[in-house]
Amino acid sequence: MTTGSPQPSLSIALLSTSTLQFLAVELKRELKAWSWQPTIWQSGFNQYRQAIADPDSALYEARPEAVILHLDGEDLFADVLKDPFSYPDAALAEQVKAAANELEHWVLELQRNLPASLIVLSTISLPPVHALTGLEYHSAWNVTGLAFQFNAELGRIARAHANILVHDVAALVSDMGYRNWFDPRLWYLARSRVSSKACKACARSLCALLRAWKGRSKKCIALDLDGTLWGGIVGEDGPAGILVGEEGLGLAYADFQGELLNLSRKGVLLAICSKNNEADALEAIRTNLSMRLRENDFAALSVNWNDKATNLKELAAALNIGLDSFVFIDDNPVERSLVRATLPEVYVPEWPQDPSDYKAALLDLASEQFPRATLSHEDRKRTSLYRAQADRQALAAGSESLEEYYRSLEMRAVLGPADPTLFPRIAQLTQKTNQFNLTSRRYTESEIAGLASSPAALVSWLRVRDRFSDEGIVGVLIARQLNPASAWVIDTLLLSCRVIGRHLERALVACACTILRERGARVIIGEFAPTKKNAIASRVYPDLGFTLLSESETLTRWQFPLDEQEIAVPDWISLEMHHELSNA
């Protein structure tokens, strides 16, 4: 049984020191383009303090999922800009600290009234030309460092409190140029500082940040080789003759590879999708001394003479991720057109003709398609984890039976309780996991923290090691107590796609049953909410011995009598339960 997923709603509050109606319009347009149904509540002109301070304000009635505090530096430090000669360095530092302390006060007030909401703070930018221009570095007065100091305070606030992200508006202003960002006519006529062009750029950036928060980003870049990863044709020029190096356009290709390597360090998978002789391509990757990327930097390779749409399907199968997780980069417009027409779910950007523009094009692409708000241990080692998966597949192919394969993996599973250091990873898994996710409920870090602290909830994680690698935390189970108290429901049960098919869900559910028995539970209920992507998990509860309780198009419920039955864990899984979890 499958069903389509409705477009998710997203409620936002936009608080500011100036008028931002145009930004709200553009942000709503961007979010709709990414299949959200947004609603945006706005405070009045420079009314953010009043909205936050009043517990009965429309802000709190709106109950937004995200609160965006877009405060302009020219408003926060208007007195300094009007008369900078009254603020020598010591006084300027006091102004920065006072502004940061006030902002932190409002952040804490928001968190008290909206504990589950994301708070987005915006870095500030000040006019590059002002009254002190020419004097700053030869006098006791300074304005240029003010924005830097305040933005550093924003980072401190974000690190000190949960569920806060910083939107780097200052970087956008710098990239676009202050005179393009600021529209003086709008300011004098409508008290709006941001130009139409700037609103579009700011909305795109905010949308990317919100998608990072919600885990809605692409996972893999599939790359062509000849003309894309290097210049020339390896089959004709040879592995040593391709264009990649330390001078001229060879350096442009090398720098492009360097940024690809940085993306892989952020958890983006790299794959090769090329029409080539595999032996020639691998020799170039392995032996050309100017290559920044090596074979181990790619999670999967598909190098042959098949069409690239077919190869992308094979890459998706090998990596066990959906085609909608791919971005395909190719210098050839014919190949790009073929993939767009054949696989519309794959994102295929236009690509520059001049390799000098490749690095900048990749950075723009990364900010839009691969946004990141946090970086977990699992993200940093993602490529090695997927390469280890290829080793497992080779082992499976040589095993006489599945059981022999499972035993040869030497799996060790550890289950533990959610603690603050793991809230980001647990939230990330609820946001990103689609295939083996029985209810597809999405949680923020603050919501995970709230569940973990509740005696009426159980939040546990699963970590797996085997002979090839430490997979890290790959599973989550969240259970909630019902009425009567002897009944609990499994709200969330998920496994990363890397470990699907190893029966680790048995370990998760079996341990949960043990813990809940100790808490007095007699019945546990499992839920399955079908989506377009999670059909692989539809048989979990009946396979575990649960009996059908109710069924509809949107939700099937199963129950298991804890005082009558137990769930067996396969003996090829060495299972350890963290003592804090077992004693919770």
- Predicted confidence at residue 142, as pLDDT, reads 81
Count of domains in the chain?
3
pLDDT averaged over every residue in the chain:
90
CA 549 remoteness from chain centre: 36
Q: Give the pLDDT band (50/70/90) at residue 471.
A: confident
The CATH number for 322's domain is: 3.40.50.1000
- Predicted confidence at residue 87, as pLDDT, reads 86
> Over the stretch 86-116, which tens digit does the pLDDT of each residue have?
888 888 889 999 999 999 999 999 999 998 8
Instruction: Verify that 140 and 277 share a domain, yes or no.
Output: no
Q: Give the pLDDT band (50/70/90) at residue 60.
A: very high
Instruction: Verify that 197 and 245 share a domain, yes or no.
Output: no
- Predicted confidence at residue 1, as pLDDT, reads 34
Q: Give the pLDDT band (50/70/90) at residue 583.
A: very low
Instruction: Verify that 201 and 249 share a domain, yes or no.
Output: no
Q: Which of 157, 192, 213 is the last residue of a domain?
A: 213
> Over the stretch 447-457, which tens digit does the pLDDT of each residue have?
898 899 999 99
Report if residue 409 sits inside a domain: yes
Instruction: Verify that 23 and 154 share a domain, yes or no.
Output: yes
Q: Which of 187, 213, 239 is the last residue of a domain?
A: 213
For residue 26, the 8-state DSSP code is H
Report if residue 508 sits inside a domain: yes
Q: Give the pLDDT band (50/70/90) at residue 32.
A: very high
The whole-angstrom separation of Cα 229 and Cα 240 is 14
Residue numbers of the domain that contains 41 = 9-213
- Predicted confidence at residue 2, as pLDDT, reads 36
Instruction: Verify that 313 and 417 share a domain, yes or no.
Output: no
Does an H or E element contain 84, and which?
none
> Over the stretch 381-432, which tens digit does the pLDDT of each residue have?
677 767 766 776 767 777 777 778 778 888 898 898 888 888 988 998 998 8
| Residue 202 reports pLDDT greater than 50 | yes
Give the global pTM.
0.76
The CATH number for 77's domain is: 3.40.50.1110
Instruction: Verify that 261 and 343 share a domain, yes or no.
Output: yes
| Residue 584 reports pLDDT greater than 50 | no
- Predicted confidence at residue 86, as pLDDT, reads 87
Report if residue 374 sits inside a domain: no
- List of E strands, 57-180: 66-70, 118-122, 164-167
Q: Which residues of 38-72 are buried (b: 16+ CB within 10 A; e: fewer)?
A: bebbbbeebebeebbeeeeeebbebebbbbbbbbb
The whole-angstrom separation of Cα 290 and Cα 283 is 13
**What is the average per-residue pLDDT within 136-140?**
81
The whole-angstrom separation of Cα 153 and Cα 204 is 25
Instruction: Verify that 90 and 165 share a domain, yes or no.
Output: yes
Report if residue 378 sits inside a domain: no
| Residue 206 reports pLDDT greater than 60 | yes
**What is the average per-residue pLDDT within 157-175?**
93
Contact 316, 345 (CB under 8 A): no
**What is the average per-residue pLDDT within 53-57?**
94
Instruction: Verify that 263 and 333 share a domain, yes or no.
Output: yes
Question: Which of helix, strand or coil describes residue 38?
Answer: strand
> Over the stretch 239-294, which tens digit does the pLDDT of each residue have?
999 999 988 899 999 999 999 999 999 889 999 999 999 999 999 999 998 999 99
Question: Which of helix, strand or coil describes residue 289?
Answer: coil
